[in-house]
A and B are shown apart, each in its own frame.
Chain A
Amino acid sequence: MASPRMSSRASAYSALLPAFIVLAVVYIGSTVWTMWMSLTGSRMLPNNNFVGLRNYEILFSNDRWITSVHNLAFFGVLFVAISLALGFLLAVAIDQKVRSEDSWRSVYLYPYSMSFVVTGLVWQWLLNPTLGIQKLVRDMGFETFTFDWIAHAETVLYCLVIAGVWHAAGLVMAIMLAGLRGVDEDIWKAARVDGLPTWRVYASVVTPMLGASFATAGVLLSTSVVRLYDLSVAMTRGGPGIASEVPAKFVMDHLFERANISLATAAATSMLITVIAVVAPYMYWRTRVAARGRA
Chain B
Amino acid sequence: MSGAAAMQTMSPPGDAGGPRSARPVRMTPARWGLYAFLAITAAFFLLPLWVMVVTSLKTMNEIRLGAIIAPPLAPTLEAWAKAWSSACTGLACDGIRVGFWNSVKILVPSVFISILVGSMTGYALSFWRVPGANVLFTAMMIVAFIPYQVFIYPLVRVFAFIGLGQSIATIVIVHTIFGLPTMTLLFRNYFSSLPIELFKAARIDGASFYQIFFRIMMPMATPMIVVAVILQVTGIWNDFILGLVFAGRENLPMTVQLNNIVASVQGEREYNVDMAATMLTALLPLVVYFGSGRWFVRGIAAGAVKG
Binding site for B on A (CB under 8 A): 1-4, 6, 8-9, 11-13, 15-16, 18-20, 22-23, 25-31, 33-34, 37, 46, 86, 89-90, 93-100, 102-119, 121-123, 125-126, 128, 131-133, 135-136, 139, 166, 169-171, 174-175, 178, 180, 185, 188-189, 192, 198, 216-217, 219-220, 223, 226-227, 229-230, 233-234, 237, 247-248, 251-252, 255-256, 261, 264-265, 267-269, 271-272, 275-276, 278-279, 282-283, 286
Contacts and interface: CB of A to CB of B under 8 A. Distances in A.
B37 A185 contact: no
Q: Interface extent on B, as a size class?
A: 35 or more
A90 B20 CA distance: 17
Contacts of B132: 20
Nearest to B64: A131
Contact of B263 (A3, A20, A31, A237): A237
B154 A9 contact: no
B149 A271 contact: yes
A8 B123 contact: no
Contact of B307 (A28, A252, A283): A283
11 contacts: A1-B127, A96-B19, A98-B16, A99-B10, A107-B46, A114-B285, A131-B68, A170-B45, A175-B304, A198-B18, A268-B147
Given A3-B129, A18-B121, A122-B278, A12 B209 contact: yes
Nearest to B180: A22
6 closest pairs, A vs B, by CB? Answer: A11-B209, A115-B238, A113-B289, A30-B154, A3-B129, A12-B128
B93 interface: no
Given A9-B128, A19-B140, A136-B69, A117 B48 contact: no
Contacts of B140: 19, 23, 27
Contact of A19 (B129, B184, B234, B237): B184
A2 B196 contact: yes
A186 B262 CA distance: 55
Given A26-B151, A89-B37, A96-B19, A174 B301 contact: yes
A134 to B, nearest CB: 10
B21 A192 contact: yes
